[in-house]
Structure 1
Amino acid sequence: MIRAGTGSLGGRLLVLTISFVLTASILIFFPSAANFRNNWLGERANAAHLAAIAAELAGNNLSEEAVRELLDGADAIAVARITGGATELVLGADTGDAPLREEDQTRRRPLREMAAVIATFTGPEDRLIVLTAIPPTRPDERILVILPEAPLREALIGFSARLFWFALFASLVTGALIYLALLVLFVGPMRRLSLSMTRFQENPSDARRVLSPGTRHDEIGEAERALAAMQADILAAIRQRERLASLGLAVARINHDLRNVFASAQLVSDRLATSEDERTAAMGQRLVRAIGRGIRLCSDVLEYGRSGETRPDLQAVTLAPLVDEIAGELLGTETRIEFDNTIAPDIAVMADRDSLHRLFGNLVRNAATAMKDRQVARLTVSAETRGDEVHITFADTGPGIPQAVQARLFEPFSSGGGEGSTGLGLSIARELAGLMEGRITLQSTGPDGTVFEVVLKRAD
């Protein structure tokens, strides 16, 4: 059960509902009090009119006691008639020097009547009201009644108290009903959604914690179904990640064993490649290349598995010597490839040297593979400083990347079409660039070659 305190949604709704009803009661208090005041004065005017008729019928035979009884019955001190502009005292007593307040009920003024309510509460205790009204049986005349204001004040206080308690009761009942309705229709289901998210967060791999949506067709029902679908997707992703983690561990072990097998086979293939028999030597050369592709496949898979383990330590790295070092290692035996390093010797970036070596190595290796059958094989590496970034480009003269491959070029195991390619080089390069707060993009590709751009932060 949701507590009804102001800290909960239901409690806030209850407090707001009661506050709104009380506010509405305050707004209608003054019009209601003004109407009550007018009715009270109207009743006194009618009673005074009846007393005046009785006095007229009795003529001069009324005793002082009878006059006092008639005036007490109307709560009046004096009663007079206004006929043809002349005022005639019908019943009267001495008013003394008490303060007077005039009230004219022949003309209704709502704002003035509401202001008169305040004046009744704040006026002096002994003030008298001089009331002018229209007699119900003699519309051509006016009746003038002088009466004390104290009874009116007491009546208004009683009316205000009754109205306050009624408004408080109505606000409590209305607030409780609205609160219960909102609790059943909105707060309860929202609480259910919140608890489901909390329980699922504690153990997202537990299928029993996935929300079972109800049959509602409103916005809350849509939220329940969306939450249930999201939780199911997260559960499926977690299970897939667990399976991939187990698979990755198995692949790493298999790769380790395969590399040992390939190493032994490479020793045999090297001897066959140096055989004096031309046919045996040719077969040995093919075997060497096949084993080399197998070793590279194992190395790339292991490298891809390691690429997300640690965050690189970013330091200032001068680009030109590093690029020459990588080209010497990877293109040293490729005499057919013309390598051109145009990077200025003073350009440096913030990077991890080993990670940057792996990133650039993948690009150089891919370019060399792409240009293996080209008559003109040239790899040009250049760099340009733009603000606080350094843009490094690797431009080759290969045949370009097929259109079908470009959309998924940086995805794992997406091959650019080269023979023996694992499709992991560019995926590893993108991840390494991201870890070094940089990026890698395919700038252009076509029959005349391909250009990749690596953007890294400039070292100060």
Structure 2
Amino acid sequence: MSRDRQRRASRPAAWMQAAAGRIAGAARSLPGKLLAFTVLVVLIAQVMIFIPSAAGFRTEWLTTRAESAHLAALAAETAEAEGLSEARVRELLAGAEAVAVARVYGGVTELVLGGDISAADMIVADLTRETVIQRQFALWGTVFGPDGRYIRIIASPRTRPDEQISVIVPEAGLREDLIAFSVRIFGISLFIAGVTGGLLYLLLLFVFVRPMRRLAKAITAFQQDPGNASNAFRPSGRRDEIGEAETALAAMQDEVRAAFRQRERLAALGGAVARINHDLRNVLASAHLVSDRLAMSPDARVANMGARLVRAVDRGVRLCQETLQYGRAEERAPVMSRLILRAALDDAASDAMAATGRAGWDNKIDEAVAVEADPDHVHRIFLNLFRNAIQAMEGGGRFTAALDRREGGFVVIAVADTGPGVPDKVRETLFEPFGRSGAPGGAGLGLSIARELTRAMGGDVTLARSGPQGAVFEVSLRAVQGAPQTRAKALKPAS
């Protein structure tokens, strides 16, 4: 029984916690914040309007009391002629809530009604001289002032502007009426704020919030499953900024889905190429053995054909190896450091000639030139460029490296050779992986790798010019002010 009572007692608490959670969630949501901010702004506007309204109410209250007291003073002046009794005159003065009344006209002050208020605090409200700012400050003095004070009102009656009336009234009546006025204004303000906030909320909900919710849901669904075509976002056709965002989201989804499809195709193609490559290397290995035997034939013509076949098979094997290496490579992020460029280029040229063949080398880079770059990346970049240059010159000629210019915080190094230049049909795909290569038997990966590594460090590799006198490639690397003290160490080929 005790457990059942505990369960019944816990149900209201759980319900209240769930309701509080839903309310808190709604308050944190975009519509909840929008409604709260709208009501707050309307209330602030009402408060800004309330202060001058309350100051005007105070002035009107004091003016009314002064006019009533003036009428009572006039009645007292003509009491005998009109047959008014003293009791009736005092009733008129009591209606104005006046404790004392005096008239000032013709330079003479006439006390109409006098009361004993000598022990009480008194403030003066001269309606003939008060400014708008003074009325607002006086308003707060009335609301927050001490109890038991009196106000001496000085005013000019509307019927006799050449006179002045001085009336003393208790401040408590004004304070009570001001509080009642404030309560009414506050209730009206809450009603206006609620209605205005609700209308603005509904307007903004349908015009802005719901489209933004739709966009947010579409982005979330796309993030969770980018390849699902059923989550495709369809723009509403709006012509404002939200419509532009919808159109951009739909276009981005189409592009990303196309990229995913392309990636899947490339992954499948890569797997097929890897399998074919494996089988092809076995075939080429067998062909290499046969070609070696043919090259050793005593018949000169057969030996010559065998040697040519050996070279062709070697190019095929090298192409297979380079293709697999490129497909498996995941370039690491560059580790930037200060590097003397001349030493790095000498190391790359030495390795290039050792692997590809001899050629003339001329390093025109000054010892003082330093760059901010990854030493391994720099070595691989220039190793690929130098190997291409040596292959293009077919074992003869000369390749050089020189500082071409400085621009925008970068140094531009020109790498030139004396080969036949880059053929026109190759230039369009020169930096694309597996594009057409100017070198016989090349895989078309060297320049692609060089550009990828250079761009990772913020620079670039471009073909500056090409012709029968040779080709010139430009490499831009981030410059360093002042050369480091340590010399770059020799690096082995990594491509």
Deviations along 1:192-248, one digit per CA (max 9) or x if unpaired, are 222221221112121222222212221111101111110111111011011001101
Asked if 1:82 corresponds to 2:104, the answer is: yes
Which of 182, 199, 204 is equivalent to 2:221? 199
For 1:249 and 1:219, locate their aligned partners in 2 and report how far apart those are by CA, in whole Å: 44
- Give the length in aligned residue pairs: 447
TM-score calculated relative to the size of structure 1: 0.80
Contact map agreement 2:345 2:379 (CA 8 A) in 1: no
**Identity %, equivalent residues:** 53
For 2:348 and 2:125, locate their aligned partners in 1 and report how far apart those are by CA, in whole Å: 103
Which of 115, 134, 138 is equivalent to 1:116? 138
For 1:435 and 1:222, locate their aligned partners in 2 and report how far apart those are by CA, in whole Å: 32
Which of 145, 152, 156 is equivalent to 1:134? 156
For 2:96 and 2:328, locate their aligned partners in 1 and report how far apart those are by CA, in whole Å: 103
Contact map agreement 1:22 1:171 (CA 8 A) in 2: yes
Letter matched to residue 194 of structure 1:
A
Alpha-carbon offset, residue 36 of structure 1:
0.4
Asked if 1:327 corresponds to 2:347, the answer is: no
Contact map agreement 2:415 2:473 (CA 8 A) in 1: yes
For 1:312 and 1:32, locate their aligned partners in 2 and report how far apart those are by CA, in whole Å: 69
Contact map agreement 1:382 1:393 (CA 8 A) in 2: yes
Matched residue, 2:54: 33
Matched residue, 2:43: 22
Alpha-carbon offset, residue 140 of structure 1:
3.5
Which of 71, 75, 92 is equivalent to 1:54? 75
Corresponding residue SS for 1:80: strand
Which of 118, 122, 126 is equivalent to 1:100? 122
Which of 25, 30, 49 is equivalent to 1:9? 30
Alpha-carbon offset, residue 291 of structure 1:
3.5
Contact map agreement 1:3 1:11 (CA 8 A) in 2: no
Structure 1 range deviating more: 67-76 or 321-330: 321-330
Letter matched to residue 377 of structure 1:
G
Alpha-carbon offset, residue 32 of structure 1:
0.9
Matched residue, 1:238: 260
Alpha-carbon offset, residue 45 of structure 1:
2.2
Asked if 1:158 corresponds to 2:180, the answer is: yes
For 2:162 and 2:107, locate their aligned partners in 1 and report how far apart those are by CA, in whole Å: 11
TM-score calculated relative to the size of structure 2: 0.75
Which of 158, 161, 166 is equivalent to 1:144? 166
Matched residue, 1:172: 194
**Which runs of 5 or more structure 1 residues have no equivalent in the other structure?**
332-336
Corresponding residue SS for 2:168: strand
Matched residue, 2:19: none
**Which runs of 5 or more structure 2 residues have no equivalent in the other structure?**
1-21, 368-372, 479-483, 490-495
Matched residue, 2:435: 414
Contact map agreement 2:349 2:386 (CA 8 A) in 1: no
Letter matched to residue 203 of structure 1:
D
Corresponding residue SS for 1:399: coil
For 2:455 and 2:74, locate their aligned partners in 1 and report how far apart those are by CA, in whole Å: 104
For 2:417 and 2:213, locate their aligned partners in 1 and report how far apart those are by CA, in whole Å: 60
Query: Does the C-alpha gap of structure 1 residues 378 and 143 become closer, same or farther in structure 2, counting only changes over 3 Å?
Result: closer
Deviations along 1:66-103, one digit per CA (max 9) or x if unpaired, are 33322211211233332212122334444444333333
For 1:97 and 1:314, locate their aligned partners in 2 and report how far apart those are by CA, in whole Å: 88
Q: CA RMSD in A?
A: 4.2
Matched residue, 2:3: none
Deviations along 1:301-320, one digit per CA (max 9) or x if unpaired, are 22221223778999999986
Contact map agreement 1:196 1:211 (CA 8 A) in 2: yes
